[in-house]
Structure 1
Amino acid sequence: MFDIKWIRDNAAAFDAGMARRGLEPQAAGLIALDDERRACVSSLQQAQERRNAASKEIGKAKASGDEAAAQALIDEVAKLKASLQAGEEQEREVSARLTDALSRLPNLPHDDVPDGADESANVEIRRVGTPPAFAFEAKEHFEIAGIAPGLDFERAARMSGARFVLLKGEIARLERALGQFMIDLQTREHGYMEVSPPLLVRDEALYGTAQLPKFAEDQFKTTDGRWLIPTAEVPLTNMVAEEILDEAALPMRVTALTPCFRSEAGSAGRDVRGMLRQHQFWKCEMVSVTTPEASLDELERMTACAEEVLKRLGLAYRVMVLSAGDMGFGARKTHDIEVWLPGQNAYREISSCSVCGDFQARRMNARYRPEGEKGLRFVHTLNGSGIAVGRALIAVLENYQNGNGTVTVPEALRPYMGGIETLGAR
């Protein structure tokens, strides 16, 4: 969400930022709406002033015995009342249109974000680890002989439809082990406070993190008007909605291991096989709330926290900075971490860490009180996967597969697996 006053003062810079997002100039239309709103407000003020003055004149007219003048003034006040009611409704309608228009525009890219329309313009920052070299042809996770029985897509489809899987036995335990390993790492070593948040939220929460109104079709809505969370970013970030924090309380770092639910409305035909793109999945989410001065450093820290998961699991990956055209709606700058998947012979996204500036804070009215200052400022928010459990499960299965159809359990997960070292052995 943007400040219309800032747009009025920085129209060219605003349109330049929108152009980097692939959008036509927006400032003129927004300013015209704001002009209309201001005209309504001015008209209301004038009408109210005249109504107050006329009300006083009524008493004077009656005191002087001029009943005709008093009645004329009474009639004028009645008309002004009706005019004010109509004007207030018009002002509310114009303000709503302006707010809606502002809420549908993406965040402005940070200056050091690369230009480009899509993922082809993303820039690689670094690669870590070496992809495994197999003496056999690497298989995708659902093709590994010893693992395939634990991935039941058929039964899941019968009860829930496409893009669901029923994990069984050792594979279900491995998924649970991955999630526990991640949340333990982020809380015990990286200083994030664990939170168990609601999985159902109201419109206001999704609006605050910018999933609404633009991306309603990507969410699941319940019959009572609540929404299933697409990511724990939503409840974690909304912990500071409508609050004023002390600067001493920042940065606030929280994490949660939760199921996530996405309709995948815009992904028809993509990754239809296997577990890569599901309607329901587990994810360890990290959220930070910081001062504006610290937010870019916090992005680097958060990215490192996500990377550490892959380092401990012994998985090769690369870190990308996304181009302006490939970033998420609410992000100012995003680091994607892509893990190596031998079955696809490609790097695929497993974590996305973004700094949003005050974009979400303005929508949530989340502010802080700077030390030594009288005024309030909007906080900066960040979010990142620490990491996506389902994709980590795929990565472990594919990178640790053996030629006989079994999978070796990474050392870091064995304490969570009761000492099991090999999956799929017969």
Structure 2
Amino acid sequence: MRLLLTSTHGMGHAMPLMPFARACRDAGHDVLLAGPHPIAEVAAREGLTYQRLPWPDEERLAAVRRLVAARQGMARVKTAMSDLFVRTYARAALPGTLALVEDWRPDAILHETAEASALIAGDALGVPTLRVGVALATPYEEWWLSMTTEALDEVRAEAGLTPDPGALRAAQTPVLTQVPAALDAYQGPPPAHVHRYRDEHVGAALAPGLESSFDHYAWPDPDAPLVPISFGTMVPTDGHFPSLYRAAIDAVADLPIRVLVTVGRHADPATLGPLPANVRAERWIPMADVLPHAAAFVTHGGAGTTLAALAAGVPMALLAISADQPLNARLVARLGAGLALEGGPGQAPALGALVKALLDDDRHAAAARRIADEIAALPPIAAAVGEIEGRAAGAQPWAVGTTMSSAMFTRGGAATA
């Protein structure tokens, strides 16, 4: 089987695809990862074949990002999903995606929910598609589709497709996710076809002796609770860095804990300045390795990072910055598995009180452990290969399924025969 995976540029979008890519590769299938240039780094790390997809011009990107920044709350999310992800990212990528699908002829396509060019190309060329969830709760996947229905129809028309009112056709595609049902609570109905799996490498304790790798830091108290701090892939040009990290460090430095800060592969810990005796900072350490040994976790609430903490049963102090992070933070707090601050980076000085509350009240850790137990009971990612194979086997032969040619596609609007 040939399997095409597509992603937009964010690591939070690309990384959920990787466990499924590895499982299919291990099962002997050919896997190709496609996306904008930053995805090449992910492909190289995973040893996957990579194909670059077109990217919007900078003038268009700047205009749409200004439009998103001018919105607040759910209006910002809707604008981002419709105008940035569909009308900008997907529209730019679609000619390349159509050409790639025609040339490589995959048996199935896996795309993360926000990457819409594959959804449209699969429909246009008769190739079955499956969504890989990138949200912390599966109903969010459906919200995003419903928010983008008008934008999707515009780009569908450019590919010669009829409208899909309410994105109902798109909503029938299977969703593969690592999210347990517990995280769907209070969020509305899940997708029509959702399949839940666990990544055996997330939430699992390190092999005996590997925690000693923290010993070289010479902690003042090596037995103090470990509290990692990570705000995702922020870089020095993001405005909030390094002031957010510094404020978070100062907020927790007086607590009797060990603090391990990771600032991201493209940032320099030296920009944080002198560190307290109980704080260590690194560019990057896999959180999946650290979290099983953590007593609490300070984070921004990104979906992948939050899910990894829950899989390890670690309660969180959440300070949301953007995108779906406020939704994620509120959800975790409502489930009792953490405490959340409203108001963005300016609230970082209050993180110390949240961490102390998490360490003093076992109910938060108990709630996180309940979710971890549910995740541990899910079937392994390897079981998803059968679902993907079944979806591919149910399709018509490739030559029969083809409904159009990428040569028919024009950037100016509708396709013509």
TM-score range, shorter chain: under 0.3
Greater RCO (CA < 8 Å, at least 6 residues apart): 1
Larger fraction in helix: 2
Larger fraction in strand: 1
Question: TM-score with structure 1 length normalisation?
Answer: 0.24
Higher Rg: 1
